[in-house]
A = this chain, B = another copy of it.
């Protein structure tokens, strides 16, 4: 008893924080513990909260925490901060505001910085979710900023995605929603007491209708919130739970989870294989010569890579 695994399963927040940090640092000890936790995961409802900076996502997440707690759910939050790929820190005052819930053992918040490494963000985020899941958090919120590949990758880690926008984003909505429209299960117009809320909501509704949704499929609702005044939050939580029920009833939840796990497995294989290949190659004199030729432009990188990968063999059985 008293092992790290037991502590995590008992929901010990210090142990959870320690493990997530180890996994962020790719510490092999952390990985050992995570493996023992794996059979205890797969139960949490994982929700992504996505949208550009300035839409008040952190405040919204804070309100959602309170609402889920009111309904007796234990809540984990993974706040992803893509604004610090290099500095590794979080600057936002919002983070601090969220931490006020830290006294409640039913809430566990971790902030992750993106790293410039292969599979960095989506891997560490997924691992933090696994840890929180094993700790017994029933709802896990992943907060991400911005658009692009990050969001696509993170979207693969969640069951339900809420896309947040605000009035007055003008052209941005059109540009951003082209991508976010596809990943959103629920759309939130936050700061809906500002002028232009109807315009944004109307535009979103129109764009969703243009996309065309087959009968029987989930029709993403467009909700209005004023997170600062705590308005519209129960309705948002209702919609998130309704989407989860839809996924479970239609069998899509199982399919999403399975697909997600397969993708994660393939990603791990690629990461581990990359390490192994360069490790194996580093021991061969041919590799040093290849790098020299590459440096001297006697060979192009495509041919060089092909040459290196050619040497790979797979030994089946033992």
Which residues in A have some Cβ–Cβ distance to B below 8 Å?
Answer: 31, 34-35, 38-39, 42, 52-54, 82-87, 89, 91-92, 114, 116, 118, 120-121, 145-152, 169-172, 174-180, 182-183, 258, 261-262, 264-266, 268-274, 276-278, 280-281, 284-286, 291, 294-295, 297, 300-306, 308-309, 311-317
8 Å CB contact of A149 from B35, B85, B174, B286:
B85
**Interchain CA distance A82-B182 in the complex, whole Å:** 13
A4 CB, min distance to chain B CBs, angstroms? 16
The answer to whether B182 touches A86, judged by C-beta atoms less than 8 angstroms apart, is: yes
A44 CB, min distance to chain B CBs, angstroms? 15
The answer to whether B311 touches A85, judged by C-beta atoms less than 8 angstroms apart, is: no
8 Å CB contact of A91 from B175, B274, B294, B312:
B175
The answer to whether B31 touches A312, judged by C-beta atoms less than 8 angstroms apart, is: no
17 further interface pairs, Cβ-Cβ under 8 Å (given A270-B277, A277-B312, A311-B316): A34-B302, A35-B300, A54-B171, A82-B149, A83-B176, A85-B149, A86-B179, A92-B175, A145-B147, A145-B148, A148-B148, A148-B150, A149-B149, A268-B301, A269-B305, A272-B306, A313-B314
Q: Is the contact region of chain A dominated by helix, strand, or loop, or is it mixed?
A: helix
8 Å CB contact of A179 from B82, B176, B303:
B82
**Interchain CA distance A78-B84 in the complex, whole Å:** 25
**Interchain CA distance A146-B273 in the complex, whole Å:** 31
A120 CB, min distance to chain B CBs, angstroms? 7
Tell me whether A53 and B312 are in contact in the complex, defined as CB-CB below 8 angstroms, given that A147-B83, A182-B86 are known contacts: no
Copies of this chain, count: 2
A158 CB, min distance to chain B CBs, angstroms? 15
Tell me whether A148 and B276 are in contact in the complex, defined as CB-CB below 8 angstroms, given that A39-B300, A302-B34 are known contacts: no
